[in-house]
Amino acid sequence: MKYLPLIWSALFRRKTRTAFTIVSVIAAFLLFGLLYSVRAAFTSAGHSIAGASRLITMSKESLIVSLPTSLLIRIQSVPGVTAVTYANWFGGYYQDPKNQLVAEAVAPNYFDLYPEFVLPAAELRAFHQTRTGAVVGESLAQHFHWKVGDRIPVQATIFPQGNGSNTWTFDLVGIYHVNDPSLKGQEGALFFNWDYFDKATQFGGGMAGWYIERVAQPKDADSVARSIDAISANSDHETKTQSESAFQASFVGQFANIGLIVGGIMAAVFFTLILLTGNTMAQAVRERVPELAILKTIGFSNRSVLSLVLAESVLLLGLGGIVGLLLSGAAVSGIRAKLGPLIPMLPVTAHTWLDGIALAVVIGLVVGVLPALRGMRLRIVDALSGR
């Protein structure tokens, strides 16, 4: 700590240059926080503790190909399977096409397999008893100011009703929440009764989008998955059973490889940042060669000079990183408040902070190492005489 004033003053020796560099670091870490939040929202689905013991069975061809509901009983009989439920993607929008929903028709026992969705018992009962009943996540309810008792008209984009209408009206009977902050992205869904969907839809009756199985032992998941897929082998509806996280990854992968896109953007941003801050540090040390020589003259060791320059570099990145992450936290909160669950974003968590700070430290060390070595190796006599 006693060296902090020395490091601080060296960092702000050229105030304008340092300020511009810090602004660019802030921008990079703001982007990091935002992209991290999006990626976490996409990858968090299925990563709950309960998710470790869940399998998903879908058509081997594609998720958009349905499976017969007659499979239910046969899957239930597979050894190692303790419970089975099923669901179908519905989608749709509320009032305006830009208000796209994550809506699914789910079997009555769906919430038994998702204990992370916390729903009061009375509301779950009401869901079971109300044919047109729907349950929504807290984030979604807050965004549209919905409350239990509201009637919610949803415009179908894939499944018109048998009478040709695209409007499905649901009675909101419950609002669930999740306790784990990393799963908050899952509070953006609307679930409604399978019976309503199955009877009212124009097509697809008796067909489910996917099955969800709970297995007794997660370690047996692979063998159970093989047994489930064996049921439909060589039929016209062959299945592919996989862990929930693998399923979520393939589901998200239908839209785009979010991880690759986010990773690519981050890599480009941080590569540019390394060049920029590296140049700043190199310039800063080049200008201060006589000053570093003086520090050595009065007794600072080579290692001390190396540490001072590295600390300066880490401080530069750390300051920008902290401010950038703070801003990203505020930006994510703002975006979530404005757009709600329509944009999948998780709050900036301690995990984001840890990764962000670690990244700042690593980049700080990377960009500081060459200038620091130069400072460490300089010969006092040469540096003082301007050679």
Partner 1 sequence: MSPLVEIRNLSKVYTRGRQKIEVLHHVNLDIAPGDFLALMGPSGSGKTTLLNLIGGLDSPTDGTIAVAGRRIDQLGQSELARWRAAHVGFVFQFYNLLPMLSAARNVELPLLLTKLPAAERRRHAAVALELVGLADRAAHKPGELSGGQQQRVAIARAIVSDPTLLVCDEPTGDLDRQSAVEVLTLLQRLNREHGKTIVMVTHDPKAAEYASHTLHLDKGTLVESAQAAEVAAR
- Our CB check for partner 1 shows the closer of 314 and 378 to be 378
φ and ψ at 168, to 5 degrees? -110, 125
Give the dihedral sign, CA 241/201/112/336: positive
Options 7-15, 76-84, 148-156, 259-267: segment touching partner 1 (CB under 8 A): 7-15
Q: Return left, alpha or beta for 26; rule: phi > 0 is left, psi -120 to 50 is alpha, else beta.
A: alpha
Task: Round to whole Å and give the CA distance between 136 and 126.
Answer: 13
Inter-residue contact 242 to 56 (CB < 8 Å): yes
Q: Does 10 help bind partner 1 (rule: CB under 8 A)? A: yes
Q: Does residue 204 belong to the site contacting partner 1 (CB under 8 A)?
A: no
Q: Are 341 and 255 in contact (CB under 8 A)?
A: no
Instruction: Out of 2, 96, 179, 206, point to the residue binding partner 1 (CB under 8 A).
Output: 2
Segment contacting partner 1 by CB under 8 A, of 5-13, 216-224, 316-324, 357-365: 5-13
Token couple for 347: 């709050």
Applying CB under 8 A, what is the total number of residues that bind partner 1?
24
Q: Is 29 in the site for partner 1 (CB under 8 A)?
A: no
Q: How far is the CB of 21 from partner 1 (least distance, A)?
A: 16
* Shorter beta-carbon distance to partner 1: residue 222 or 291: 291
Q: Is 6 in the site for partner 1 (CB under 8 A)?
A: yes
Q: Is 3 in the site for partner 1 (CB under 8 A)?
A: yes
Residue number with CB closer to partner 1 (207 or 384): 384
**Which two three-digit tokens encode residue 279?**
């140049």
Residue 296 is a binding residue for partner 1 (CB under 8 A): yes
Task: Select the residue interacting with partner 1 from 297, 330, 334, 351 (CB under 8 A).
Answer: 297
Looking at residue 227, what DSSP letter applies? H
Q: What is Dmax (Cα atoms) for the chain?
A: 92
- CA-based nearest residue to 57, from 46, 48, 44, 66: 66
Residues ≥6 apart with Cβ < 8 Å to 129: none
- In the bound state with partner 1, the residue whose beta carbon lies nearer, of 18 and 241, is 18
The contact set with partner 1 (CB under 8 A) reads 2-3, 5-6, 9-10, 12-13, 290-291, 294-304, 380-381, 384
